[in-house]
Structure 1
């Protein structure tokens, strides 16, 4: 198993990327790594090159670069070369903490779409905090496509189901459609059409509409949404979690000695709360619908998050999720074509 890494992507690259890859190398003895980037900078932080090969990349795609233009013009960038190595069969998966738009463009234009998928979607894993038997759920799209069509959301449900089944090991995952109410007639016309398509598909365990306030309560194992809404909800969840932790800490510090003594007694409990809300332990966001695993972690990720994300990629490769999804789509070509016609005729 070999993973291509954009070692220059991220706020703390290459230091935290290299240190995270070394942690992952030590944790997963069956993985080899190709690190693409400025060799002299990478070597400063690389303590042991066992199963790690450094590849020179003369250019870097910066966070502020226009994504598609950067991928097309910076052919010798660490990101483009890492994605190209996957396309050419030199590596099994592509990982980066860099420019999100450029990662999406690299996955789409270099690695390529799975046949039958119109638009890849970005999927992320989030925690469930009120159920002991359900630890997390997957939501997509969370930002790959701002303008999402009915067919795209239907296909996100298919891909989310396969991710939950194969990678998260959820038996018959519950699929919910994010909407502004649980009733079947809620939402705009596109969401109503998606609801009806999913309800009519016997291969999907569709539980109906779910509201954003119920997501962290385990409303579904797979939450399907358009990219604009999904990205807004994701950032709201992250922002609320951080704000609540700051609020609790601020209240304790300003509450006098009694509050501080109480907090000391509950230190373990607060630690568990912080851990359960820490997105870094769940890895990165997966670009679903491309021919190989493409995973993007947060730009501010440190070494432990990088290591966790590599574990996530390993699960994807071990589960053969991409090939299983590809086979499923190939075997349902006629069904997908009928759905396209149904959507077209309903306009």
Structure 2
């Protein structure tokens, strides 16, 4: 397996990226890493070069850069060179913590869409606290602010394949995020999407699900438009951070008794923090492209880089991308034959 890594993307690059890659390289001997970026800056944090190759470039895409313009003009940027390696078959997947918009543009313009997919979506794995499951997938969480019913139907198939073949869930339950569980609930987008999902024989559709039930494990895959999904993602992230801050504040500001109680609960609270930390499930996958393109948070640390690489490895080992390409290409070819 070969992973092209944008070593210069993210707030803590290249330090966090390189250190995370080294952690992963020490455990996963079956992966070859290609680090794209400024060689001298990368080497400052590279304590072990086993299975790691550096491809030098001085150019990088900044967080404030216009995404499409940067992809078209910064031909030698670390992210662009990594994307080209995937397109040319020199690497199997692309990983970056850099400019999200630029990565989406690079994925579309360089790596390319699967035939039969109208719009790729961004898929994430989030923690679940009940229902007998520990996580669920949600798609789209930001690749498309506006979506059509057919897009949500495609997201459901993509997400279901991911949950089944990467996470190992048989017949994953697919839910449509809505403002009520009744079939006639929602706006025109969700009503039309519901009708398509009911007829999609590739998925195990369980109907509408409400946002308040997501963390209770109500579904294994939740589909929605990118605007709504991004708002939910940031709400979950913000809630988790706020909960831990409130617990810490209550412990530290309420006297000796509270501090002693906090000390006794320290291990339990650490476990809760780990459960709520969705970075342990990996990064966001731009799903619907010809190869895995995976994005992690811009402020990511080495541990999150490690978990994202582990996620990419599981995707590559499962051959889920090859199966999806075959499925959607066959479906698209059938439609073309019907219209002739």
TM-score range, shorter chain: over 0.9
Aligned to 1:159: 158
The corresponding residue for 2:117 is 117
Deviations 1:142-175 (A, max 9, x none): 0001111111111100100110011011100000
Q: Does 1:62 align with 2:62?
A: yes
* Alignment match, 1:37: 37
Moved more, 38-47 or 101-110: 38-47
2:160 alignment partner, SS class: helix
2:171 aligns to what? 172
CA distance in 1: counterparts of 2:189 and 2:282, whole angstroms: 31
Runs of 4+ in structure 1 displaced over 2 angstroms?
330-338
User: Structure 1: how far apart are the matches of 2:118 and 2:285?
Assistant: 16
The separation in 1 between residues aligned to 2:237 and 2:284, in whole angstroms, is 14
Counterpart of 2:199?
A: 200
Q: What SS does the aligned partner of 1:48 have? A: coil
Consecutive unaligned residues in structure 2, runs of 5 or more: none
Q: What 5-or-longer segments of structure 1 have no aligned partner?
A: 341-347
Deviation of 1:337 after TM superposition, in Å, equals 7.4
Partner Cα distance (2:81, 2:231) in 1: 31
- Determine the structure 2 residue equivalent to 1:11: 11
Q: Which position in structure 2 is the counterpart of 1:182?
A: 181
Listed as ranges, the matches of 1:321-340 within 5 Å are 321-333=320-332
Report the Cα offset of residue 334 of structure 1. Answer: 6.8
Q: Give 2:22's aligned residue.
A: 22
Please state whether the residue corresponding to 1:130 is helix, strand or coil.
coil
The secondary structure found in structure 2 opposite 1:161 is helix
Q: How does 1:72-151 map to 2 (within 5 A)?
A: 72-131=72-131, 133-151=132-150
Q: How many angstroms does 1:330 deviate by?
A: 2.6
1:332 Cα deviation (Å)? 2.6
TM-score by length of 2: 0.97
SS of the counterpart of 2:170?
Answer: coil
Partner of 1:310: 309
1:31, CA displacement in angstroms? 0.3
Q: Displacement, 1:51?
A: 0.9
Judged with a 3 Å threshold, the aligned counterparts in structure 2 of structure 1 residues 252 and 335 are, in CA distance, closer, same or farther, namely farther
Question: What residue is the counterpart of 1:263 in the other structure?
Answer: 262
Equivalent residue, structure 1, for 2:274: 275
Q: Could you tell me how far apart the structure 2 residues matched to 1:221 and 1:299 are? A: 26
Give the Cα–Cα distance (whole angstroms) in 2 for the partners of residues 310 and 70 of structure 1: 25
Q: What is the CA–CA distance in structure 2 between the aligned matches of 1:274 and 1:337, rounded to whole Å?
A: 50
Separation in 1, partners of 2:193, 2:298: 33
The residue matched to 2:44 in structure 1 has which SS? helix
Report the aligned-residue RMSD. 1.5
* TM-score when normalising by structure 1: 0.95
8 A Cα contact 2:150 2:196, kept in partner: no
Shift of 1:335: 7.2
CA deviations over 1:286-324 (Å, ceiling 9, x no partner): 000000010000011111110110000000000000111
The size of the alignment, in residue pairs, is: 339
Instruction: Measure how far apart 1:203 and its partner are.
Output: 2.3
